[in-house]
Amino acid sequence: MTQRPPHPALDAFGSSGVIAVLRAPTPEGALSAIDALVEAGITGIEVTFTTPDAPQVIQESLARHGGRALVGAGTVLTADQALSAADAGAQFLVSPGTEADLARVMIGTGALTLTGALTPSEVMLAVSLGVDVIKIFPGSLGGPGYLKSLRAPFPNEHFMPTGGVSADNLGVWFASGALAVGAGGELVPATAFLEGGMQEITSRAKQFVDALDSWHQRKVQ
């Protein structure tokens, strides 16, 4: 399996703790949601390619919050998407699965690279390709106990579960070995893009930030 040095952005990614997985109906909605998330203390932002004009959203988000937030691209399904996101300044790239040629392109951009896996065989493939962080997706299928079991044969790998993560169970995911967690609908629900919905994002973001703070406090006790 490929041995690679830690990516320079790995520590910052882990320190973010919660990565907001953003699926917005419009670029304007995405930018408003990102503003609300960052102001509430969520500093990891994954702009998925299901969001219209995702590279432009990434570029504008970095212009607004580059000193405070780590902004990347998600739902990367093609090499062209990986390259356009990297050209826009994406600091990390996330694909829902692990496809060898795509993973190599993602890694080749120099961005922190995450690809999706669920089974041990898929984890082994991601590791062999030199992926920086393995996205356990959908995390809801196995839950924190499944992540803990995966950590036994892969103790040196970095994992980010996505799907099934909430403010209520965030600490359990971290206790099970997560480097960071991806939060989509539990943090940024589709209803948030209706009129006045940014208040809902702010409220949910603060719940996640409080849960993350509580986890850090328990770790140092």
Assess whether 219 carries a catalytic annotation. Answer: no
DSSP bridge pairs for 183: 20
Residues 167, 207: contact at Cβ < 8 Å?
A: yes
Q: Which of 60, 99, 135, 186 is catalytic?
A: 135
Amino acid at site 138 = P
Element (H, E) at 161: strand 159-161
Place of tokens 């036994």: 152
46 is catalytic: yes
Measured CA to CA, the distance from residue 6 to residue 186 in angstroms comes to 30
What is the CB-side half-sphere exposure of residue 219 using CA atoms within 13 A? 12
- Give the C-alpha separation, 197 to 145, whole Å: 34
Which listed residue (46, 99, 157, 186) is catalytic? 46
Sign of the CA dihedral with 92 first, then 94, 99, and 105 last: negative
Which residue numbers are catalytic? 46, 135
